[in-house]
Amino acid sequence: MVATLRKSLKTIEDYKSANPHYTELLDIMADILILREEYRNNMKDSIFHVDENLITQKMEGGLPLIDFMGKEYDLTRPKEYFNSLISIAEKRMPEAAQNIVDIIKSAQFDWEKIIRASFDRKIEESDAQGLAANHESEENIDLIDLFTEESLRPELESIAQKYGKIVEKSEWSEGYCPICGKEPKIGEIREEEDGKRYLFCHQCGFKWHFHRIKCPFCGNDEQHSLAYFEVEGEERYRVDVCNKCRRYIKTVELPKSSEEPNLDVEDIATLHLDMIAYDEGYN
């Protein structure tokens, strides 16, 4: 893990040189990765538990291993981690951090409610954000979203690493994560594996194989209503869009013998692709 962290931090420094306008956010991600590693090193067991006798049944039924909506968990450690993540913003973006602190101290802010809403695919993203604040700047909400999602990452990542091999053999075919049920924001296409497509879960760090020509959000597999776009000079990245549900997902194309990318970092280094997708009417 230390070697992986070192490589990820090196990647961040490289991206900062190539994309100086993302320096602030990339510095925040570097601090998050360091803090995440510290959290993991101090963990003994995850607060989440999996009934191993039900794994096969869950995978066949399209149910993720962790039933966050149906069970109660002690979120004391993740809440403490969330508070420590706020200190990163206080160091890197003091003005924005004060606004964030004001939001989370407000009566409308309910961290645990926001966490639970984020796992409910029936709730629109805008509704989940509305639980955090009302009429606040988008930058503040984005950082709160980032820190809220990260607050559960080490605990769920532990589950993903423990049961990942079993899940990979289950032939999971859903567009949401088999570990925690979250929807993906980014994925990768591996040329070395004959162009196989993998989706990535920011919530637990798990990657799973998914159909190349299919929308992970609505299941549309009609090729005429699926498309993608690229930005000139950045052919390594593409944005896959579905004209049926108007959703999109970013994709990193990996040539043969390329190194495994850190998709947390790649997601931030490609924020301009999100902006283009939004401008084109996708969400």
56 is written with which tokens? 């096969």
Q: What is the pLDDT of residue 105?
A: 85
- How far apart are alpha carbons 175 and 172 in whole angstroms? 9
Residue 78: closest CA among 33, 32, 121, 46: 46
Q: What is the pTM of this model?
A: 0.91
**pLDDT tens-digit profile of 246-263?**
999 999 999 987 888 999
Q: What is the pLDDT of residue 150?
A: 97
pLDDT at 277 over 80: yes
What are the residue boundaries of the structural domains of the chain, listed by start? 43-154, 183-279
Concatenated DSSP letters of 19-48: -GGGHHHHHHHHHHHHHHHHHHHH-SS-S-
Who has greater pLDDT, 142 or 202?
Answer: 202
DSSP state of 133: -
pLDDT at 88 over 90: yes
Q: Counting beta carbons within 10 angstroms of the beta carbon of residue 188, is it exposed (0 to 12), middle (13 to 18) or buried (19 or more)? A: buried
246 is written with which tokens? 């108007």
pLDDT at 85 over 90: yes
Mean pLDDT across the stretch 5-9? 93
Q: What is the pLDDT of residue 133?
A: 44
pLDDT at 107 over 70: yes
pLDDT at 141 over 70: no
Q: What is the pLDDT of residue 55?
A: 97
pLDDT at 160 over 60: yes
Q: What is the pLDDT of residue 138?
A: 53
pLDDT at 134 over 80: no
* AA identity, residue 109: F
Extended strands (E) in the chain: 186-190, 196-200, 207-210, 226-229, 237-242, 248-254
